[in-house]
Amino acid sequence: MVSENTTIVTHFIILGFPGLKKLQLLAFTVGLIVYILTFCGHFIIITIVRIEQRLHTPMYFFLSNFSFLEIWYSSNIVPKMLEVFLDKNTSITYAGCITQLYIFITLGTAECFILAIMAYDRYLAICNPLRYPTLMTNKLSLQLALCSWVGAVIINIPPLVSICRLPFCGPNEINHFFCDVPPLLKLSCLNPHEAELSSFMVATSVIVTSFFLILVSYIFIIITVLKIPSSAGRQKAFSTCGSHLAVVTIFYSTLMFMYVRPTSNFSVDSVNFNKVISMFYTVITPMLNPIIYCLRNKEVKDALWKATGRKGMLAERSSIIKTGMMRDADKNDIWKTNLKRG
């Protein structure tokens, strides 16, 4: 029971990384650069997919959805983290903290769903290539994307309600760089077992189920690709999955470490290590994903070259060089003809 004289917390203090106090300007600069790269990278992907006719396929529709999610996912956390780095505003209201938490878990859940849908899309494209256009229609793509958004919003309501029912009466210092579930539950005046169990069950079911669907899809993909007689065909089939597989590996390895275990297992000694792991899937991974997709995907690279006009410039330069060579050749022919006449 909470005493009637207990003061209810109306705001929290985000501690961030106390060990970086002497390097706060450097941390802020690096964090700002990472955020700008993340935003620009995903914005470029969304723009390229929209303007390039060849990329108007379900695969790239899901990729643009994923990039849109990543922009909001990063924007929900990084700006406040940068404020904390500079000690400008380390406090956050109770409502603001709960809002940040809900947006974070909702977008994270939607990303899991989208990655699973992308794996299913690759399964249909490789294992059923002839029926793919009729199976994965634009209407179905839109429905799957919409279901991932709506499902993420709905499935995270129970843990949100259980957390909101907890009283917070001090201390009010969150030993993290954003409002995450584990450090927030540690500040509750009552035993947070119910909220912890609800959050654990939702996180585990979402992460494990989506990862299982991805795993099954890739098992069928690998079996199908290995049956392709030519090595060039196998390489082409694997290249369409390489980017997605790299993103899945990075994203799920850190996510499972953090959330597919009870919150009570978070010890004081592991707090700083947990913050580093959180930094990977909230800040670093969103920055790397556009790079992975651009470097490993030929169609995206070609679309980028086309959009920047590099190919046109190269073609123009090539044309100028050829024209110059032709003119030089004509001059040589005229010179040789004059010699013969002389």
- Distance, in Å, from the CA atom of 31 to the CA atom of 284, rounded to the nearest integer, reads 10
Instruction: Compute the distance between CA of residue 326 and CA of residue 199 in angstroms, rounded to an integer.
Output: 72
**5-14, 121-130, 132-141 — which is least confidently predicted?**
5-14
Q: By three-state DSSP, how is residue 54 classified?
A: helix
Band of pLDDT at residue 313, cut at 50, 70 and 90: very low
Phi, psi of 83 (to 5 degrees): -60, -40
Output the pLDDT for position 153.
Answer: 96
Higher per-residue pLDDT: 232 or 156: 156
pLDDT bracket for residue 314 (50, 70, 90): very low
Is pLDDT at 240 greater than 90 in this prediction?
Answer: no
3-class DSSP state of 72 = helix
Higher pLDDT: 324 or 278? It is 278
d(CA 29, CA 11): 27
Confidence of residue 6 (pLDDT cuts 50, 70, 90): low
pLDDT the model gives residue 335: 45
Q: What amino acid occupies position 158?
A: P
Query: Could you give the strand order of the β-sheet that contains 173-174, starting from the edge strand earlier in sequence?
Result: 91-93, 11-14, 173-174
Q: How far apart are the C-alpha atoms of 246 and 258, rounded to whole Å?
A: 19
Give strand pairing partners of 129. none
What is the predicted pLDDT for the residue at 22? Answer: 79
Residue at 23: amino acid letter: L
| Cα–Cα distance for residue pair 311/156, rounded to 1 Å | 47
- Asked whether the beta carbons of 199 and 104 are under 8 A apart, the reply is no
> Looking at residues 132-156, what average pLDDT do you find?
94
Query: What average pLDDT score do residues 155-166 get?
Result: 94
Per-residue pLDDT tens digits for 21-75: 778 889 899 999 999 999 999 999 999 999 888 888 998 999 999 999 999 999 9
pLDDT more than 70, % of the chain: 84
Task: Provide the token pair at 165.
Answer: 């029912």
- pLDDT for 132: 92
Q: Give per-residue pLDDT as tens, 175-189.
A: 899 999 988 998 888
Paired sense of beta strands 91-93 and 11-14, if any: antiparallel
- With 70 as the cut, is the pLDDT of residue 321 above it? no
Question: Alpha helix (H) ranges present in the chain?
Answer: 24-51, 58-75, 78-85, 94-127, 132-135, 138-155, 157-164, 181-185, 193-226, 231-259, 271-279, 285-296, 298-308, 310-341
* Rounded Cα distance, 131 and 127, in Å: 9
Averaged pLDDT of the chain: 83
Digit-coded pLDDT (tens) for 259-276: 776 554 445 446 777 888
The residue among 251 and 322 whose pLDDT is bigger is 251
Looking at residue 93, its pLDDT comes to: 93
| 125 CB-contact burial (10 Å; exposed 0-12 / middle 13-18 / buried 19+) | buried
Higher pLDDT, 117 or 231: 117
